[in-house]
Amino acid sequence: MFTDTHCHLNRLDLTKYDGELSGAIAAMKAANVTRAMAIMCDFAEYDEIYNIVTTFSDDALNLGMSVGIHPCEDLAVLQSATTERLIETATSEHVWAIGETGLDYYWSDENKQEQQASLARHVYASQVLKKPLVVHTREAKHDTIDILKAEKAEHGIIHCFTEDWDTAKKALDLGFYISFSGIVSFKTAQTIRDAALKVPMDRILIETDSPYLAPVPKRGRPNEPAFVPYVAACLADLLGKTPKDIGEMTAKNFENLLAQYS
Ligand SMILES: [Zn+2]
């Protein structure tokens, strides 16, 4: 059993499934993916994602979602994420987490201050609702850690981890889990693999971040949640475990994260 802790289920490329999401869902089940969290980046996506998770959840596949605004969204969208609106939107039991929020100075460095303010509001919403935070960080590791620390964030995921061990250590010290995507399988990702070797086993998660970043051997193709076992296989090689071990361990870790304050 595998848990994909971060996928954009409403954005998948469904060409090979004749445009039907049910095809990608069947592929997840065939790949033994039993749980997945669909990630929201803008309020405009809420209804669509909510419909997907409530329509396709069943005994074989447990689907949930997050509520949050991605740091690369336009200024107006970032500003629309007031704490009140985040809290109001995220009360459903199908909403497992708050995000993805965070800082991205690579794709968008004009709105730094608004990104920072938005991240702080997401932390607050996560604390009020006792739901973990999903954090994206790119070329912004120092500010990300500083804000999480200042806002006393201690419950969440650094998603699609692409930083060094120093950053992982700081996030772990705050209480965060570290989620690895297909990037860990890329040849050039030695720094990330070095960090993965040091992260405590009980704080590792796996994700696809689909439709982006397909893992080796699917690199370059549209990614989908059914590929999360490839991420597990890469970590398994690295850590001297079986993919099944990694699947079970990371599924348990995600369960623990969700149950942390319940
Ligand atoms: Zn994402």
CA 60–ligand 1 middle distance (angstroms): 24
CA 32–ligand 1 middle distance (angstroms): 22
- Nearest 5°: phi and psi at 160? 45, 60
CA 210–ligand 1 middle distance (angstroms): 8
Share of the chain above pLDDT 70, in %: 100
Residues with CB under 5 A from ligand 1 (ion): 39, 209
- Whether the per-residue pLDDT at 68 is higher than 90: the answer is yes
CA 129–ligand 1 middle distance (angstroms): 21
CA 7–ligand 1 middle distance (angstroms): 6
Give per-residue pLDDT as tens, 9-61: 999 999 999 999 999 999 999 999 999 999 999 999 999 999 999 999 999 99
pTM, 2 dp: 0.97
DSSP codes of every residue in 157-226? EE-S--S-HHHHHHHHHHT-EEEE-GGGGSTT-HHHHHHHHHS-GGGEEE---TTS-PPTTSTTSPP-GG
CATH of 2-259, one of 3.40.640.10, 3.30.1300.10, 3.20.20.140, 3.40.50.720: 3.20.20.140
CA 39–ligand 1 middle distance (angstroms): 6
Q: What is the residue extent of each domain of the chain? A: 2-259
